[in-house]
Amino acid sequence: MNSIRNIAIVAHVDHGKTTLIDAMLSQSGTFRSNQNVAERVMDSNDLERERGITILAKCTSLLWKDTRINVVDTPGHADFGGEVERILNMVDSAILLIDAAEGPLPQTKFVLMKALHLGLRPIVVINKIDRSDERHQEVLNEVFDLFVTLDASEEQLDFPVLYASGRNGWAVNDLNDERKDLAPLFEKILEHAPEAYSEKKASQPFSMLITTREYDSYLGRILTGRIDTGTATPNAFVQILNQHGDTVEKGRIAKLLAFRGIERIPVESASAGDVVAIAGLEKATVADTIMDPSISVVIPAEPVDPPKLAITISANDSPLAGREGSKVTFRMIYDRLMREAEGNIAISVTMSERKDSLIVAGRGELQLGVLIETMRREGFELSISRPKVLFQTDPETGTRLEPYEEIYVDVDDDYSGTVVESLSNRRAEMTDMRPCGTGRTRITFIGPSRGLVGYNCQFLTETRGTGVLNHIFCGYKPCTGAFEGRKNGVLISTEAGEGVAYGLFNLEPRGDLFVVPGDKVYEGMIVGEHTRSNDLCVNPVKCKQLSNMRASGKDEAVKLRPPRLMTLEQALTYIEDDERVEVTPKTIRLRKAILDPHERKKASRREEA
């Protein structure tokens, strides 16, 4: 039996986790010398490669000096914090990766807090030490202060520190050491991370807590977790209990898969401490315990933070419904979202009061946007409402509470005043402001989550694309009242058909357009943004009258301005409460919830009354 170490790599987004794992796999001999390996090999999802971020936590395994090291790559974005929370249950230590220039950021604080709470002793790696603006000594002091702030024990405060460049593939214990390879990091893992295999636990009956769930078209449901006690073997009879101790199902392990490099291979047995994947069970899911029938002790799962943002998803009922997607019924949408909620513990799905839509709650706009984009690529057609924060009520005083965020902003000095004013208008309070070198300023705010919905696009405009905005949930506080909505109204189509250059040209003085000639439009569809605060009904399909009447001048050549094209996240945060985003596999459209203009007027009068 080889020695085993289980370790997670945690950090803020873009601090270099996946790149470091690439170098670790390469230098441990996982790949052949002539093997063609993609960059950021752990980001295997199409969306992950397109966006350049890690969305799902994934396991890999490498061998170093007869020791099997199971490494878990985790997401760095706060919206996917649920992936980090559940994955920390199956590791014994963590590598806390920190950018040598940026230092600890919001997600650094979040993942470190979770790791310390579980009693893990992290290894601190200050990455990107080769940056021209690195400030490793200041960053190390900030990390120590963060440990103290999070009430780390004396044992946890005595953390080892390495300096590394994941892109160049080296790590050192001291900056004066030779910068050759990642051997110091591997040695530190073997020295610092506790041994996962235990003879005592291996001799007990089999039990394993399910940490992740995925689906394979050939094997069916694949359940991944760390074996807590005993030994797992194919064809073994097991029972599955949920966290309340109720039996979920009984069955046999059809396939036992172990991680070897970036692949999963079948094995004949695996013992306590190893991370494996099991196939053959039909109902078991995340947080359930797979165990030998001779025992009935459930392995406790750490609770995850609740969602704070929700959208309403229903079947697409526009006049263009069913023309692009293959999955258009409410039943298909319901089944797909319930499967997602089963495997993704950071998302909750509930039926609306009218039973015609689903309320999907998650951590943030990005997480919900990724879910919708994934469903869109699977062939679904959806109608989606504007995101809303989830309020709570104080049980003692009855006060209405709303979620608040700790906001970190890194901007050029020239734009700091604009950003402070903008966030102050969104009721955020500045708590700290300090220079961070090279003509940039770091500003810290605390403000309501509602004020951040849709702010990212405005922030990038205000900072000319140079600013960095990060935020993390910090608790619930009394509600601050209503927020000012969108300042401009919209242009609403009164006719169905295809947009015509002549008609759109005459609409340009009224505002910015969202469509181009040839785009299909329908009554109630939003085709542009009005220059004024009120909504305006327009006709984008109006054609020039072909009559004998001659014009006094020559026809003007129609030249249209480029339309404003929105991403899915931008569209979700642009709309108001009486509007919807129509999502199909090929198109994203904006529309009014009530398409008929007369019915819209009646509904607005009822609300005013």
Mean pLDDT score, 548-574: 77
User: What is the enclosing helix (H) or strand (E) of 492?
Assistant: strand 490-493
In which domain, by residue range, is 140 found?
3-192
Mean pLDDT score, 412-420: 90
Distances (CA, A) of 64 to 167, 190, 267: 20, 9, 20
The pLDDT of residue 493 is above 70: yes
Residue-wise pLDDT tens digits, 35-77:
555 555 555 667 777 777 777 778 888 888 888 899 888 887 7
Q: For residues 217 and 552, what is the distance between their CA atoms, to the nearest angstrom?
A: 68
The last residue of one of the domains, among 428, 443, 478, is: 478
Cite the DSSP H helix spans in 433-548. 455-462, 501-507
Instruction: Name the residue with higher pLDDT: 102 or 304.
Output: 102
The pLDDT of residue 553 is above 50: no
Distances (CA, A) of 126 to 98, 131, 137, 140, 286: 5, 11, 10, 8, 33
The pLDDT of residue 32 is above 70: no
Residues 7 and 153 in one domain: yes
- Domains held by the chain: number: 4
The last residue of one of the domains, among 127, 161, 192, is: 192
pLDDT score, position 42: 59
Mean pLDDT score, 551-561: 66
Phi-psi sector, 400: left (phi>0), alpha (psi -120 to 50), beta: beta
Residue-wise pLDDT tens digits, 583-598:
999 999 999 999 998 9
Residues 14 and 155 in one domain: yes
Residues 181 and 209 in one domain: no
Considering only CA atoms, which of 170, 129, 161 is closest in space to residue 143?
161
pLDDT score, position 33: 54
Considering only CA atoms, which of 302, 386, 297 is closest in space to residue 345?
302
Residues 80 and 160 in one domain: yes
Query: Residue 569 falls within a domain, yes or no?
Result: yes
Tokens 């819209």 -> residue: 600
pLDDT score, position 343: 79
The last residue of one of the domains, among 270, 291, 312, is: 291
pLDDT band at 127 (very low <50, low <70, confident <90, very high): very high
Residues 220 and 107 in one domain: no
Q: For residues 487 and 475, what is the distance between their CA atoms, to the nearest angstrom?
A: 29
Considering only CA atoms, which of 21, 261, 12 is closest in space to residue 164?
21
Provide, rounded to the nearest whole percent, the portion of the chain with pLDDT above 90.
36
| Start-to-end C-alpha separation, the chain | 75
Which pairs with CB-CB distance under 8 Å and at least 24 residues apart come from 459-466? 459/409, 459/419, 459/422, 462/415, 462/418, 462/419, 462/422, 463/411, 463/412, 463/415, 463/418, 463/419, 464/415, 466/411, 466/412, 466/415
Q: For residues 259 and 265, what is the distance between their CA atoms, to the nearest angstrom?
A: 7
What amino acid is encoded at 1 in this protein? Answer: M
Helices 455-462, 416-425: axis angle to 10 degrees equals 160
Residues 258 and 109 in one domain: no
Residues 473 and 518 in one domain: no
pTM, full prediction: 0.85
What's the whole-number average pLDDT of the chain?
A: 87
